[in-house]
Every structure is written in C-alpha cells, then in structure tokens.
Amino acid sequence: MVSIKGLLRKIQDGNINKNIQNLIIIGLIGIAIVMAGTFFFEGGQRKPTSSNNLPTELSQIIDYETKLKKELEETLASIEGVGRVEVMLTVANEKEVEIAYSKTQSQNLTQEKDNQGGERIIDQNNLTETAVMVNENGVNSPFIIRENRPEIKGVVVVAEGAHDATIKYQLNKAVQIALDLPSHKVVIYGRKN
C-alpha cells in the first residue's frame, strides 16, 4: 500500500507519471469541493433526522381522519338522548391530487421529391406537457386543480343512548347524511354500562 506522504514526495520530485499526477490532483480538488460544499450549504452542521417522521401525505390523511372523527363525535353527542359517543372511521385510499399542465403541440409536415420521381412525406407531431409550478414563500410546488379527500369505506358508532331504537335510527341517519354514505356502511352499537 502506498502512503500519502510517499505519493506526495514522488509528485514533488517528478518521479511519477504525468497522467497519474493529474488524476491525483483532480481527485484532491474533487474531495475539497465536496467538503466545502457540505460546509457552506449545510452551515457546517448535520441536521438530525428522525426515523419516526411520517411521510407528509400519510400525516395529512391521519389529520383528516382525526379531524373528521372529532367533528362527527361532537355532532352526534349533541343529539338529545345520545350521551357519550365514540366513532371509528375506515378510510380506503389516499387523497388524490390533479395537477395543472401546460401543453405545447407542434406539427411539421415535410414533402420531398427526388429526381427519379420518388416522393417522401414526413409528418412529425410533438406534444410537450410541463407541470405548472407556483412559488409560495420561496418554495416551488405544482399548481393543484382538484384535490379529492380519502374515501370513507365505513363507520362504526358506539353511543350510550343507542340501545333505544329511535336514537339508533337518528344516529344512523346523521352519519349517512354527514358523510354521504349508504346505510350498509354505517353500524351503530349501544355502549355497555
């Protein structure tokens, strides 16, 4: 194994091939640039990474579920005779986002004839789609046309007053209307005392 000091002595003395010498110099310059880049662009400090951070989209879905669950529990608990309420939601998919695109289309038609009577037609169509970007607070992000919330597949409600058939019916109707769900996706149970 060649030591760095020995290699540097050979370079100073001129006892090393010129190509290898250039390669070593380029390598050292590259290492210096990488080290300087990490120092200047990260402020010389490493940012701690958290292994338990959830991806943003998953976090947004959980926030949506939690907010919806809380609002539904508060609304159902305010119905007369219901009492304490717990709600469980089942969400099927992630939210869907539709992004705006800028489309550019061009067509080029070329007809060529040669001296021997041959003819060639070239029809070239180009379609380019580019996402429309919006700058918000110095951050570029795609322009969103439409955003669909996650689909709710079912709801389970446990309420103190659900032992009464009238209260159970009112809870079922309230959930169906609030979440636009058919009755077979809503289940109401009475809470045990």
Q: What is the pLDDT of residues 7-57, one digit of tens each?
A: 667 766 766 677 777 777 787 788 878 877 776 665 444 444 443 444 565
- Report the residue count for the chain: 193
Rounded to a whole number, what is the distance in angstroms from the first to the last CA of the chain?
Answer: 79
pTM, entire model: 0.49
**146 vs 11: CA distance, rounded Å:** 64
